[in-house]
Each structure stands twice: as structure tokens, then as C-alpha cells.
Amino acid sequence: MRQLPENLLSEIFFESSDDKQNQEFYFDDEPLERILYGAELNGPSPANLYAPSHKYVQKIITSCREQNLADLISALSALAEVGLLISIETCHQLVEAIGKLFPYYPNPVVIHDITDLELLLVYIWERALEKQDVLLLSSVGIPLFRWYEHHGKYEEARQILNKLIEIDSEFNFRASKAIHINNFAFEYLLERRWNDAIPHFLVAAALFEELGIPFEAANARANYWICRFELDEVDDIESVETELNAIYKILNGAKRWYERKPLILFAKIEERRGNIVKAITLVEKAIESAKDSNTKYPEIDRQYLEHLMLKRRRP
């Protein structure tokens, strides 16, 4: 068999430009069956393993960037038919493109239907595991765990986060580790598994404080107190209120939903005290603070507001 030049091999196996990816290469491999028996086979072996999927991958990337869901779904379907075989380099490009569609926060109002992205995200995750590509694992792990979260698959989300935490520990990425631990706990919170969430929120808050990141520490502590209130494990209201005031000072004015957390907890304290009117005012403020967050929190908080309104009307 003829020896292929080294530079040609690099062009075949490592995608370096669209022109090269679109070229079709074949090995000069005379199969033993043809040599011995003159058997007619299906032709020479393709040398570019990624050629069949290339045009669909590029269509996916373009569709994500243009936020064209119809073309995206069509390209995903075609890619599944030809078989998922995508280079690591292209996997990185796909994750970057997919990021244009993903809400990277809990309880989002989902603008784009991301349901069909599961197969591709799982494939990229498994490729990254196979190649032990830490950068790719870290980048694809975020949309993948969010995909599971947004579809109510909290255990699967925690499995992805657990791997990300392992990577953070191995490479001493302490800030990233704290964020992922907080997210890990939040999956329990979304499941209303308050007792399971609490210890992880405490670990995350302590690590944020150690790293000198007060905003994230305050957010993790707010999450912790949400769980404690839901479990009705709040005895010393005055000391809790003191801490919540400190948390509110840090989270006050924050974008999206952060400020609403202490406001809702303040409302629960006032409800306990029988100050329903004050509690209503606090919930209304919480709803206003999250109105542009593109989350479901205003809707969730309105349900609490309706509960308080009914309570106020009762004799």
C-alpha cells in the first residue's frame, strides 16, 4: 500500500478549513478479498471519517447562531440518520454555537425549544469523556446539566455536576467548584428535597466566603434559608432576620432573580408575625425585582401573593 504523506494525513484527520473538510479522501487499500479472489466490494475506504456529518454539523452551527429552530431541527434529524461522528474540534464549535440558545439559569421562561438537543449534547459529553478533554467536558457539561434540569431530570443533572466538581477538585478550580456545588444543591431544591440540599449549600457558601466572593456566598446562604423556611426549621426569627438583612444588602439591585430571595423570606417572617399587609408589600417588591429576569419567579411569587391576599380577606 502506498504511504500517504504526513501533511496529507493531517489534512484528512484534522479539520483545518471548510475547503479541506468538504474534500473527499480515500485510502489506497487493496482489501485481501480483492487481491485473493477478485471480489467486488463497495469501493475504497473513506479516509475522512467526518465527511458524512460535516454539512449537517455546519448547518447546526449556522442555525444556532441565527436562532433558526426549523433548520436546526432539520439538521439534527439528518445528522442522526447519517450517524453521529464528529471530531473533537468540531464538538467545541458546536457547544459554543448551542450556547446561543440556552438559558443558563434555573426556572427560565424557555424561548427556544431545546428538547431535540439532548442527543447531540450527550454525544459530545461522551466524546469528551472518551478523550478526557477537560475543556470540552467543562463547556458541554453546563448546557447538558441545564437541559436535564429544564426537563425535570434532576438526578441526571446532578450526575453531570458531580463530574464537573471532580474536575474542579482535580485541577483546584475552587471558584468553579463552589458554583457547581451550589448548582448541585439547587437541583435538590427544585425537587423540594430540602434536607438533601442544605449541607451542599453550606459547603458552597463557606467556600465562597473563603475565596472572598461575598455575592455568591450571600446567594448560597439565601438558598440555604429557603430550605430551612420550607422545612419550618426557623426558631430564632430575630437572628435569622439579622442575617437576611445582611444578605439583602449584598443581593439588593442584583440582576434577574437574586434580590427576590431575601424579600420572599422577609415576607414569610412577616406572615408568621401576622403582618399580612407588610408581607404583601414585600412579595410585590419581589415580583417587581424579577420582572425582567426571563424566569418563572414572578409567576411563582404571584401564587404566594394570592395566598396572602386570601389570608388578608379572612375574618
Walk along the chain (315 residues) and give the pLDDT tens digit of each residue: 444 444 443 433 344 444 444 444 434 445 555 555 555 555 554 445 666 678 888 999 998 888 888 888 888 888 887 777 888 998 999 999 998 888 889 999 988 888 889 999 999 999 999 999 999 999 999 999 999 999 999 999 999 999 999 999 999 999 999 999 999 999 999 999 999 999 999 999 999 999 999 999 999 999 999 999 999 999 899 999 999 999 999 999 776 689 999 999 999 999 999 999 999 999 999 999 999 889 999 999 999 999 999 988 876
Residue 257 lies inside a defined structural domain of this protein: yes
Question: In angstroms, rounded to a whole number, what is the distance separating the alpha carbons of residues 77 and 56?
Answer: 9
Q: Which residue has the cell 446567594?
A: 219
Q: CA 299 from chain center: how many Å?
A: 22
**Domain edge (last residue) among 48, 65, 87:** 48
Q: Residues, the chain, total? A: 315
What is the per-residue pLDDT for 226?
A: 98
Per the CB < 8 A criterion, the answer to whether 254 and 279 are in contact is no
- Please give the pLDDT value at position 314: 75
Q: How far apart are CA 227 and CA 231, in angstroms?
A: 6
CA–CA distance, 102 with 108 (Å, rounded to integer): 10
Residue 290 located in a structural domain? yes
Does some domain include residue 7?
Answer: yes
Q: Enumerate residues 6+ apart whose C-beta is below 8 A from 159.
A: none
| Single pTM value for the model | 0.82
d(CA 131, CA 125): 10
Amino acid 26: pLDDT: 38
Torsion from C-alpha of 230, 236, 241, 247, nearest 10 degrees: -70
- Phi and psi based region of residue 231 (left: phi greater than 0; alpha: psi -120 to 50; beta: remaining): alpha
Distance CA 73, CA 226 (A): 39
Query: Does residue 285 lie within any of the structural domains?
Result: yes
Q: Show the domain range for 306.
A: 246-315
Identify the pLDDT of residue 20.
44
Q: Is 252 a member of any domain?
A: yes
The alpha carbon of 179 is separated from its chain's Cα centroid by a whole number of angstroms, namely 12
Q: Is residue 264 part of a domain?
A: yes
Radius of gyration of the chain (CA): 26
For residue 300, what pLDDT is reported? 96
Who's near 3: CB < 8 A, 6+ residues apart?
none
Alpha helices in the chain (DSSP H): 6-13, 18-22, 32-37, 51-66, 69-82, 88-98, 118-131, 134-150, 154-171, 174-190, 194-211, 214-230, 237-251, 260-273, 276-289, 297-313
Angstrom distance (rounded) from CA 242 to CA 280: 20
pLDDT score for 224: 98
Answer yes or no: is 19 within a domain: yes
> φ, ψ for residue 28 (rounded to 5)?
-90, 70
1 falls within a domain: yes
d(CA 156, CA 147): 10
Domain count, the chain: 2
